[in-house]
């Protein structure tokens, strides 16, 4: 039997309770706003033959690819992020790519599991946004109920093996008098993209049309506000797609892994 | 022809000049005190079959194993730490281990090089010690012209594949009124072990004889001083030896790789 939960009910559930609903296919929607205070993670699953290169890519590019946890080949249980979880079922929606082409979106990848698959869980900006909001720094895309605008830059990631490509950034417009606080606060959150990569001049990082984001939605930039750019977790996904591995499984955009780790515990 | 350089002459040489002397076998002694201001790195070289596990071990244990640079399989040129260097010749002394047993100490590993070797360069406490000394925090082992005392603890590293074992720590006795500063300063140096792992009670981390270090030398702990413990780069070496890979090459203790990166650039 399939239940529909209203977000207001879901908001009171613990990460563990939410993962159980998701596992039982009772929630297959985006996870933004669920389990406030707890870190959510991006998912990339690759066959072992690509795992060293991808792990090295993340090591070389910690701002766009901050690793929260990497599982042993074949393992589908997280140990650090959530001791009682199954990565094959505990994400609301998965995307299956073969040779860089989207093949299917599914709610469960148990049937697809192979002994050689390596799971990478990557930090997400939800964690630092919570800290910014607590510090009275406004998040325009949340106010406007949109996805954060994202842009492909001219900043090349440091390549590793078969993986290479430009950094993708997210943008949040901030009033001048909030910029320093926003940098200081996010610099503490290295596990979730850390300090911004650029402030103020989109052209300087190859962004020519600030009102035409490559991913997500356009947001209002008010007079006197400055666009601030953070490295974005879409970077590793774009880089993996470009490398066309024979198999890659990711979370569907916005349908993240909900962990038992508090955001604040990532600020160390 | 072989030259002998006095340390007073060496101290004025740039990292690049020092690496050239080392490459030409004109310096095969420890590197402590050379190229002040520049980061030095620990070396671990392993065949590719062990590389994913070891990279994962470092990812899971960033305090004892802070990676400064990992090279692509077969590559012997560093790109980040020093653009014009050769890892096969630019370290004053190497140790060759086969199945965990010391086979030889050599000045050059060019003849041993194989296409499948992966080089890991790991941060070293020399970098944060410099920052502590600049902040007028005394380093007892330097005052007493000794090696820093190191201890095997009861803190288990997070295992990865074939690699597991306890964390090794270094100890520096500090006056009470310097402890907070020492924590704040070293917390900025995540790339070189970061903040301490323990303060004050050696027994709590399984150290029963503070005057009998497992590695390095005993140092004086003056009345009122507190022992402060940092994760130590000997940890990955101990863990690798325990796993008995068929081949492993490391630097000889104290004979480090001298990089072109300033210590201060690691505090970001």
* Spatial contact of B34 and B10, defined as CB atoms under 8 Å apart: yes
Residue B240 neighbours by CB distance under 10 Å: 23
From the list A183, A182, A107, A134, the residue with the least C-alpha distance to A36 is A134
- Residue A102 tokens read as 């989207």
Instruction: Give one DSSP letter per residue of A61-108, joined into a string.
Output: -TTT--EEEEPPTT----SSS-TT--TTTSSS-EEEEETTEEEEEES-
- Burial (CB count <10 Å: 0-12, 13-18, 19+), residue B184: exposed
What is residue A34's three-state secondary structure?
coil
Which of B47, B55, B67, B122 to probe the A interface (max A CBs under 10 A)? Answer: B55
**Global ipTM:** 0.91
Q: What distance in Å separates residue B212's CA from the closest CA in chain A?
A: 32
Chain Cα centroid distance, residue A25: 22
pLDDT at B3 exceeding the cut of 70: no
Strand partners, A69: A121
State which residue of chain A sits closest to B195, comparing Cα positions. A268
Q: Chain B contact for A164, CB < 8 A?
A: no
Judge whether residue B92 has pLDDT over 90: yes
- Alpha-carbon span B202 to A85, nearest angstrom: 36
Task: Strands of B71-134 (E only): list them.
Answer: 94-98, 101-106, 117-123
Mean pLDDT of B204-225: 96
CA angle B17, B146, B132 (to 5 degrees): 70
B190 touches chain A (CB under 8 A): yes
> Measured between CB atoms, does B226 come within 8 Å of chain A?
no
Q: Using the 8-state DSSP alphabet, how is residue B141 labeled?
A: H
SS3 B190: helix
Contact of A124 with chain B, judged by CB distance below 8 Å, is answered with no
**Tokens in use for B255?**
């004979």
| CA nearest neighbour of A107 among A215, A252, A223, A234 | A252
Q: What percent of chain B has pLDDT over 90?
A: 88
Q: Give the Å distances, CA to CA, from A61 to A146, A267, B11, B78.
A: 27, 19, 33, 16
> What is the distance between the alpha carbons of residues B209 and B214, in angstroms, rounded to a whole number?
10
B52, B58, B197: best to mutate for the A interface, most A CBs within 10 A = B52
C-beta separation of A161 from A52 below 8 A: yes
Compute the average pLDDT of residues B63-72: 96
B231 touches chain A (CB under 8 A): no
Q: Are A164 and A157 in contact (CB under 8 A)?
A: yes
Residue B258: name the closest of B33, B24, B8 by CA.
B33
B189 interaction partners in chain A (CB closer than 8 Å)? none
String of b and e for A247-258 (b: at least 16 CB within 10 Å)? bbbbbbebbbbb
Q: Which residues contact B26 (CB under 8 A, 6 or more apart)?
A: B2, B3, B5
Mutate to test the interface with A, among B47, B48, B56 (most CBs of A within 10 A): B56
Distance CA A83, CA A79 (A): 5
Our CA-based measurement puts residue A129 at a distance from the nearest CA of chain B, in whole angstroms, of 21
Distance CA B20, CA B90 (A): 7
Gap between the Cα atoms of B134 and B227, Å rounded: 20
Strands A248-251 and A225-231, how do they pair?
Answer: unpaired
Q: Choose among A45, A44, A51, A64: nearest CA to A125.
A: A64
pLDDT at position A126 is 87
Sort out which chain A residues have CB atoms less than 8 A from B266's CB and list them: none
State the Cα–Cα distance between residues B124 and A235, nearest whole angstrom: 30
The reply to whether residue A51 touches residue B52, judged by beta carbons under 8 angstroms, is yes
Q: What is the mean pLDDT of residues B61-79?
A: 96
* Percent over 70 (pLDDT), chain B: 97
Quick one: pLDDT at residue B5? 64
- Strand, helix or coil for residue A229: strand
Closest CA relative to residue A250, chosen from A1, A41, A24: A41
Of all residues in chain A, the one with the smallest CA distance to B54 is A52
Residue A52: which of B52, B60, B160 has the nearest Cβ? B52
Question: CA-CA distance, B242 to A255, in Å (whole number)?
Answer: 41
pLDDT digits (tens, 9 = 90+) for B103-120: 999 999 999 999 999 999
As given in the structure block, the two tokens for residue B148 are 């820093």
- Min Cα distance A155 → chain B (Å) is 16
More confident position, B253 or A164 = A164
A 52-111 → B contacts, CB under 8 A: 52, 55-56, 59-60, 67, 70, 72-73, 80
**Predicted local distance difference test score (pLDDT) of residue B84:** 81
Comparing A157-171, B9-23, B39-53, B87-101, the range with the smallest average pLDDT is B9-23
The string of pLDDT tens digits covering residues B156-208 is: 999 999 999 999 999 999 999 999 999 999 999 988 999 999 999 999 999 99
Nearest to A193 by CA among A144, A222, A228, A217: A228
Residue A145 tokens read as 């109920």
Q: Structure tokens of B5? A: 């350089």
Dist. CA B139–CA B49, nearest whole Å: 40
Q: Are the CB atoms for A83 and A29 separated by under 8 Å?
A: no
Spatial contact of B108 and B89, defined as CB atoms under 8 Å apart: yes
Half-sphere exposure of A62 (CA within 13 A, CB side): 18
CA gyration radius, chain A = 18
Interface size, chain A vs chain B, as Cβ–Cβ contacts under 8 Å: 32
Q: What is the mean pLDDT of residues B23-37?
A: 92
Q: Please provide the size of chain A in residues.
A: 268
Q: If you ran DSSP here, which 8-state letter would residue A172 be given?
A: E
Dist. CA B60–CA B56, nearest whole Å: 6
Residues of chain A where predicted confidence (pLDDT) is lower than 50: 1
Chain B closest CA to A6's CA: distance in Å? 37
Q: pLDDT by residue (tens digit) across A97-106?
A: 999 999 999 9
- The three-state secondary structure class of B169 is strand
Reading the block at residue A206, the tokens are: 């190859």
């Amino acid at each position: 039997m399939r239940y529909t939960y209203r977000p207001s009910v879901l908001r009171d559930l613990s990460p563990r309770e939410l993962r159980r609903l998701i596992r039982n296919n009772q929630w297959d929607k985006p996870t933004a706003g669920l389990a406030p205070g707890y870190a959510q993670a991006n998912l990339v699953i690759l066959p072992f033959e690509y795992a060293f290169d991808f792990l090295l890519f993340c090591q070389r590019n910690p701002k766009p690819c901050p690793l929260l946890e990497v599982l042993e080949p074949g393992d589908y249980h997280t140990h650090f992020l959530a001791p009682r979880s199954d990565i094959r079922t505990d994400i609301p929606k998965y995307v299956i790519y073969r040779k860089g082409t989207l093949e299917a979106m599914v709610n469960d990848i148990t049937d697809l599991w192979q002994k050689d698959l390596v799971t990478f869980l990557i930090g997400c900006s939800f964690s630092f946004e919570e800290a910014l909001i607590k510090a009275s720094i406004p998040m325009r895309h949340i106010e406007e109920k949109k996805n954060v605008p994202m842009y492909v830059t001219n900043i090349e990631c440091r390549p590793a093996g078969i993986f290479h490509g430009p950094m993708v950034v997210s943008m949040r417009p901030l009033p001048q008098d909030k910029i320093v606080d926003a940098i200081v606060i996010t610099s503490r959150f290295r596990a979730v993209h850390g300090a911004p990569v650029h402030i103020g001049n989109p052209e300087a990082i190859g962004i020519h049309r600030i009102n035409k984001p490559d991913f997500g939605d356009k947001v209002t930039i008010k007079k006197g506000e400055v666009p601030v750019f953070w490295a974005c977790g879409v970077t590793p996904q774009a880089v993996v797609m470009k490398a066309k591995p024979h198999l890659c499984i990711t979370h569907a955009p916005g349908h993240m892994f909900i962990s038992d780790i508090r955001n604040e515990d990532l600020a160390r």
